[in-house]
Amino acid sequence: MNAPRYTLPAMLLHWAQAAIVLWLLWRGWTMLDLPKGPLRSAAYGLHKSWGLMALGLVLLRMVWRWRNPPPPALAGGFEAVLARVVHRGLYLMLLLAPLAGYLASSFTPYAVKLFGVELPRLGWPDEALNGAFKAVHVFAVWAIAGLVGLHVAGALKHAIQRDGTLSRMLPGWLFRN
């Protein structure tokens, strides 16, 4: 099926975001089990830095999408509504998770760093505010995990149906006969 495709920049931004988010989910869950010390501190530092990169990337994606609207949906009805809800939920949580993480980190005695470069603090050491923003961060991360699961399930459904939806977000060379 020759359906209208996403632009190459949209594809690259999507797949870069996917790779970073999957790594962040893995790193976030595995770093919790590390014993306190330099290895755990390094893991947290990388997680925070890549989380901020993910925030920048989702903002860039939103600007790109605003300036370059996506092709029209191929499906209609309930399926189109579900896809729209999942996409909007992902964008919302991809904004909320890193913002809440940054704010949680801002309410600790430790400097917030982006790959070693100290960033401005938006807070002061406060355990209650740190805990509140950490709870929002955890909620948003679990929401991302669930929404990614729904997104992947939808992609697999379209791959099985071979209805052209999945191929719109993949490079054309993958579909040459």
Q: What is the CATH number of the domain that holds 70?
A: 1.20.950.20
Dump pLDDT digits (tens) for 126-150: 999 999 999 999 999 999 999 999 9
Q: E strands within 28-89?
A: none
Is residue 1 included in any domain, yes or no? no
Q: Which residue has the higher pLDDT, 68 or 1?
A: 68
Cα separation of 119 and 105, whole Å?
11
Identify whether 2 is part of a domain. Answer: no
What the block records as the tokens of 49 is: 């830095």
143, part of any domain: yes
- Are 104 and 144 in contact by the 8 Å Cβ rule? The answer is no
Whether the CA torsion 98, 28, 107, 131 is positive or negative: it is positive
pLDDT at 174: 66
Residue 146 CA to residue 138 CA, distance in Å, equals 12
What's the domain count of the chain?
Answer: 1
* Domain boundaries, position 43: 8-175
d(CA 46, CA 44): 5
Indicate whether 3 belongs to any domain: no
- Give the global pTM: 0.92
| pLDDT for position 56 | 98
**What pLDDT was estimated at residue 7?**
93
Which is more confident, 173 or 88? 88
The verdict on residue 109 lying in a domain is: yes
